[in-house]
Amino acid sequence: MRMAPRGAEPFKIKMVEPIRLLPPAERQAAIKAAGFNIFSLPAEAVYIDLLTDSGTAAMSDRQWAAIMSGDESYAGSRSYYQLQQSVESIFGYRYLAPTHQGRAAEHILMTMMVKPGDRVLGNMHFDTTLGHTLLKNAEPVNLVTAAGLDPQVDAPFKGNIDLDRLQIELLRHASGEQHVPFVLITVTCNNNGGQPVSMANIRAASEMARRFGVPVFFDAARFAENCYFIREREPGYSNKTITEIAREMFGYGDGCTMSAKKDGLVNIGGFLAFASEDLYRRAVEWQIPFEGFATYGGLAGRDLAALAQGLTEVVELDYLAHRIQQVGYLAEMLDQIGVPRVRPTGGHGVYIDAGAVLPEMPRELFPGQAVTVALYLAGGVRGVELGSLAFAHVDPVTGETVYPARELVRLAVPRRVYTDRHMEHVAAAAAEMWTRRAELPGYAIEYEAPVLRHFTARLRPV
Ligand SMILES: *Cc1c(COP(=O)(O)O)cnc(C)c1O
């Protein structure tokens, strides 16, 4: 347990939602009924839910007050203008198009900009970004540095773009060999464990892209966490506010897509924001048919109002310091137990290296799923497998199974929902899983869907 007083949660609690740890026999029955798949568990059977940090944040009293005063006008809602002001003051982008989620913003950006055969460059695209790129018959290109991909390298900015590879891609674009519609920088890099991108890397990538006349956009889902890491880890930023850092960062781009379900501190929502009116006009052409009128974009006025307030709270230093420390506290406790994990700790969760927890278990028996089920049985904790169950697939040409690089289990921490005491319970469950690791069964698939099987698969222990 942490002994020196580093400061506790920077909020007090004025509304509670009861949660219950089911007795062990009931947890056993629940996971069996769910086909040993945590996606099929009713949330009520879960004590501490670390499935995702998306849409799971607790809103503040001020956000709830904003909900009550949201303006539901179809056009020109007051809540839209509040959101526009919040976004402009933090991102520096004047032109705002709300959407119902982050992926809707991606859909619009891709529809505006991407043609078949294009190469969409980025550090590492999120799943939905990758999906939208493929839907446009374009090619998603991940240019994250080699060090960023090595789980043993403890570097400060493992979300950085490899600038040499970026230059090669842009030179091919300039020579007409290929077309690059834009560079998309994802901050923090979700699919690489929530690792941040440095300001120096963003600046260099942006200068290079602009020299070649290629626009730069941000996938800003966790922009505040990225800015906090810049403040902590990059020389020259320790005296700046998060908003000052965000303004500099977004200044290197032409606009962004945002999933407000992360650093918007709301349960639903997203947006596109642009520096130029021209890009905005093109986005609205697609926003209106797909999402809704320009000033609501598939959201209720009250959702816009809660997001306008949430953005002002997510850039507060006290909030971010606690957020990042809480994730770090869970990681430290796992280190003390000896549970292997991906380093360094990212912004929004801890990634257990299940392949190293169960080195003897063949990958066909899903070691990540074995650890995930063991955590649930030990303490009602729901994490998620990000290994062979989620990502292994059969190569259509060779007929052989292609395995992902690693067998991971992610414990994603929702924002402002759990206390550090809850994290201690999670660590205790991990300790029990670790003690019993020699006895953990592997799993075999009883049912699987042809695509995205991990969401609905049924398994049995073997
Ligand atoms: C969640 C996420 C998205 C997609 O946003 P949704 O709101 O879930 O549609 C896009 N990019 C990143 C980095 C994300 O984490």
Q: What is the pLDDT of residues 31-69, one digit of tens each?
A: 999 999 999 999 999 999 999 999 999 999 999 999 999
Q: Please confirm, yes or no, whether 100 is among the known catalytic residues.
A: no
Percentage of residues in the chain with pLDDT exceeding 70?
Answer: 99
pLDDT-based confidence at residue 153 (cuts at 50, 70, 90): confident
Q: What is the dihedral of CA 391, 397, 398, 399, to 10 degrees?
A: 60
Instruction: Give the residue from 2, 56, 42 showing the smallest Cα distance to 380.
Output: 42
How far apart are the CA of 433 and the centre of ligand 1, in A? 30
Q: Please confirm, yes or no, whether 221 is among the known catalytic residues.
A: yes
Active-site annotation holder among 218, 390, 454, 457: 454
Q: Over 80: is that where the pLDDT of 359 sits?
A: yes
Task: Tell me which residue has tokens 């020699």.
Answer: 438
What integer pLDDT is reported at residue 248 of this predicted model? 98
Ordered by where they begin, the domains of the chain are 24-53+317-461 (3.90.1150.10), 61-314 (3.40.640.10)
How far apart are the CA of 27 and the centre of ligand 1, in A? 31
What integer pLDDT is reported at residue 274 of this predicted model? 98
Q: Please confirm, yes or no, whether 126 is among the known catalytic residues.
A: yes
pLDDT: which is higher, 397 or 411: 411
What integer pLDDT is reported at residue 249 of this predicted model? 98
Per-residue burial over 224-255, b if 16 or more Cβ lie within 10 Å, else e, is bbbbbbbbeebeebeeeebbebbbbbbebbbb
Q: Range with the lowest mean pLDDT among 22-26, 68-72, 171-175, 394-398?
A: 394-398
Mutate to test the pocket of ligand 1, among 197, 219, 263 (most ligand atoms within 8 A of CB): 219
Q: Over 60: is that where the pLDDT of 167 sits?
A: yes
pLDDT-based confidence at residue 1 (cuts at 50, 70, 90): low
pLDDT averaged over the chain?
A: 95
Please tell me whether the overall predicted TM-score, pTM, comes out greater than 0.75 for this model.
Answer: yes
Q: Please confirm, yes or no, whether 319 is among the known catalytic residues.
A: no
What integer pLDDT is reported at residue 323 of this predicted model? 97
Q: Please confirm, yes or no, whether 280 is among the known catalytic residues.
A: no
What integer pLDDT is reported at residue 452 of this predicted model? 82
pLDDT-based confidence at residue 283 (cuts at 50, 70, 90): very high
| Longest CA–CA separation in the chain, Å | 65
Minimum CA distance residue for ligand 1 atom 2: 259
Ligand 1 atom, smallest distance to 260 CA: 7
Q: Please confirm, yes or no, whether 173 is among the known catalytic residues.
A: no
Q: Are 60 and 415 spatial neighbours (Cβ–Cβ below 8 Å)?
A: no
Minimum CA distance residue for ligand 1 atom 5: 102
Q: Range with the lowest mean pLDDT among 55-59, 138-142, 237-241, 403-407?
A: 403-407
Q: Over 60: is that where the pLDDT of 401 sits?
A: yes
Minimum CA distance residue for ligand 1 atom 1: 259
Tokens representing residue 366 in the block: 């899903």
- As for ligand 1, residues whose beta carbon falls within 6 Å of it are 54, 101-103, 126, 128-129, 186, 190, 219, 221, 259, 261-262, 270
